[in-house]
Amino acid sequence: MKIGTIDLGEHPVFLAPMEDVTDISFRLMCKRFGADMVYTEFVSSDALIRSVSKTQQKLVVAEDERPVAIQIYGKDVDAMVEAARICEAARPNILDINFGCPVKKVAGKGAGAGMLRNIPLMLQITKEVVKAVNIPVTVKTRLGWDADNKIIVDLAEQLQDCGIAALSIHGRTRAQMYTGEADWTLIGDVKNNPRMYIPIIGNGDVTSAEICRQCFSECGVDGVMIGRGSIGRPWIFREVKHYLNTGELLPDEPFDWYIDILKQQVLQSVERLDERRGILHIRRHLAATPLFKGITDFKQTRVAMLRAATVEELFHIMDSIPEKFGIIR
């Protein structure tokens, strides 16, 4: 699969862009475990052209994470064009446009998935951004606004006509937010449309190596994007790539191996921010990780872990888990 001239190999697996999740340290971690391409947190075009410091920091990319895409969102053509040029100067490999974020503060203001209610503006923005930069431009969107407006098959052709180099589709409508099951049938319909020639990347509910391979084999997509399934579990890319390459599931590692990965995430977060903010940032990963699921009577320990205020306190709790719950290290 290629996006522009970027060769991503056969059956590439991507880290989806996620706000407050896909910072540079997490992207590098997922890349280390086999993610073929990673995406930044989404960048507000309005904030970027106003030179908001926190937004500008999202543009920092490292050589070790390439190929990397910067994702922008907004609803004003001129602002999106200017933001696209600013992003290009940060030297990402790809510029991605977010037409899929469903949260109220974005979609409710007409940006992100809100664009699914204003297709002419969506297409105008896409055309102008494609013209404004010299790197490949891609789009990430959803099936449609709601169950009565699943327009993705026709919309995909229109976006392709705007000159985008690839299309990522989350298999839900905006109305669904993140509830219910992702519908990969429509993603497959887009891929199997004989008029489509750009790569199609599917996204939604990919939480295991088996599901990922099923998406490739049953829907025929060119790539698969993993989002929430990677939170607190960056090693999922290692598991997926092994299964895709060998047809065999990767054996589990010792419990301490996974704990060490989570500790590395904590330390990287603290180094990037500071102890207080770094621990607050990483709590989402600790809460979501499947490593602790199924451990009987783990609730109090989970609460203590999420309330820990220092690295020393947090690591002490994490180190005590095997002995406290009789887990083989």
Q: Is the peptide bond before 67 cis (omega within 30 degrees of 0)?
A: yes
What token pair was written down for 206? 């990919």
pLDDT at 327: 87
pLDDT at 43: 96
Give the dihedral sign, CA 267/268/273/279: negative
Q: Which of 30, 101, 162, 219 is catalytic?
A: 101
pLDDT tens-place values along the chain, 329 residues long: 999 999 999 999 999 999 999 999 999 999 999 999 999 999 999 999 999 999 999 999 999 999 999 999 999 999 999 999 999 999 999 999 999 999 999 998 899 999 999 999 999 999 999 999 999 999 999 999 999 999 999 999 999 999 999 999 999 999 999 999 999 999 999 999 999 999 999 999 999 999 999 999 999 999 999 999 999 999 999 999 999 999 999 999 999 999 999 999 999 999 999 999 999 999 999 999 999 998 999 999 999 999 999 999 999 999 999 988 888 77
Rounded to the nearest 10 degrees, what angle do helices 77-89 and 119-132 cross at?
30
pLDDT at 184: 97
Q: Cα–Cα distance between 305 and 266 in angstroms, integer? A: 12
In the numeric block, the tokens 């664009």 are attached to 115
Q: Cα–Cα distance between 178 and 265 in angstroms, integer? A: 25
pLDDT at 328: 78
* Residue 101 is among the residues annotated as catalytic for this protein: yes
pLDDT at 326: 83
Residue-wise over 188-219: b if at least 16 C-beta within 10 A, else e? bbbbeeeebebbbbbbbbbebbeebbebbeeb
What token pair was written down for 44? 């507000």
Give the type of residue at 200. I
